[in-house]
Amino acid sequence: MRARVEILSRGLWHTARVQPRDNDPGAGSLSDEALVRQTLPLASRFGCKIVGLALLVTLASGLGWGLQGGLVGFASSVGMLVLLQWLRARSSTVQQARAAERELGRRFGALPLAQQLSEARAQLAASADLEVVGLFRGRVLPHGALRSMRMEIGAQPKLVLCTAPALAELQRGSASSMAMIRRELPLTAAQVERSRALLRDLATETLAPLASFVVDGFACEASVLQRDAAELHASANLAGLPDQLRHHPSVRLIELFLDLESELVTDGHLG
């Protein structure tokens, strides 16, 4: 487990190229790099500038007309702040940026877990060929890359692996868009059977969230939805775990995804 965390921190995924998508005005058809560029308005300091302007108006009003004038200036500034923020949020530029942010989240597993679970439940109910959908998400703390996996067991068993730096790092240019990787790999029959066996074992266990023993590390969440069995949910920070928790049911479920990943990505690269 320690080796995995060390590999994560070294960033072994930063070697593959992003495949551009078709040139279409919709967010879903843009390349990953284009989506990042489209989110740049969200990283602007518009709010800070407006707050600073509001403080200046309040100060000038107070100096010119005393306390009452200062209060009037403050109220006017707050109203102006709310109005400008409301107008900005409804501008086409910001709406496109939000759409790009959601699309990046969809591609790389960064959407809220509740939304991903809802979509996975719908997919499981709609597809007769699908037996199991597993979701994994891990982030290198405090501000590291996001890693996500999606396991599907059915007619075509597969594992979808994704990684992406924090969006703020991409917007600042401190991380390259070449670090945004997505790859789909088939699961072998042996891997499918081992996964099913573990899920059967965990069905009788209690998968309680584990407390974090460090402020950084590798915080993970894993969920498995099965057609004819109860859902399984686990969360744990794999860094700093005491030895007595290494075989905890929650850790075993998380380890299932990481074991499959290490077996499938045999060359240490996604590209």
Whether 23 shows a pLDDT value over 50: the answer reads no
Q: Which of 195, 198, 165 is nearest to 264 (CA)?
A: 195
pLDDT of residue 16: 31
For residue 99, is pLDDT > 70?
A: yes
Q: Which amino acid type is present at position 197?
A: A
Q: Does residue 82 carry a pLDDT above 80?
A: no
- Other beta carbons within 10 Å of 89: 10
Answer yes or no: is pLDDT of 87 > 70: no
Domain residue ranges of the chain, discontinuous segments joined by +: 2-20+109-264, 31-108
d(CA 17, CA 160) in angstroms, rounded, equals: 16
State the pLDDT confidence band at 151, using cuts at 50, 70 and 90: very high
Q: What is the pLDDT of residue 222?
A: 94
End-to-end CA distance of the chain: 23
User: Does the structure show a pLDDT above 50 at 57?
Assistant: yes
* pLDDT given for residue 259 in this prediction: 94
Closest CA to 147 of 238, 68, 35, 19: 238
Long-range CB contact pairs, 52-60, < 8 A, 24+? 53/77, 54/78, 54/80, 54/81
Q: Are 148 and 136 in contact (CB under 8 A)?
A: yes
* pLDDT (average), residues 168-179: 63
Residue 45 pLDDT exceeds 60: no
Mean pLDDT of 123-142: 90
Question: The whole model's pTM is what?
Answer: 0.66
With a cut of 70, say whether residue 66 has pLDDT above it. Answer: no
Please determine, for residue 146, whether its predicted confidence score (pLDDT) is greater than 60: yes
Q: How far is CA 13 from CA 105, 267, 270, 271, in A?
A: 18, 11, 6, 8
Architecture of the 2-20+109-264 domain? 2-Layer Sandwich (3.30)
Q: What is the pLDDT of residue 149?
A: 92
Query: Tokens in use for 152?
Result: 């599907």
* Structure-token pair, residue 172: 């600042």
Burial (Cβ within 10 Å: 0-12, 13-18, ≥19) of residue 190:
exposed
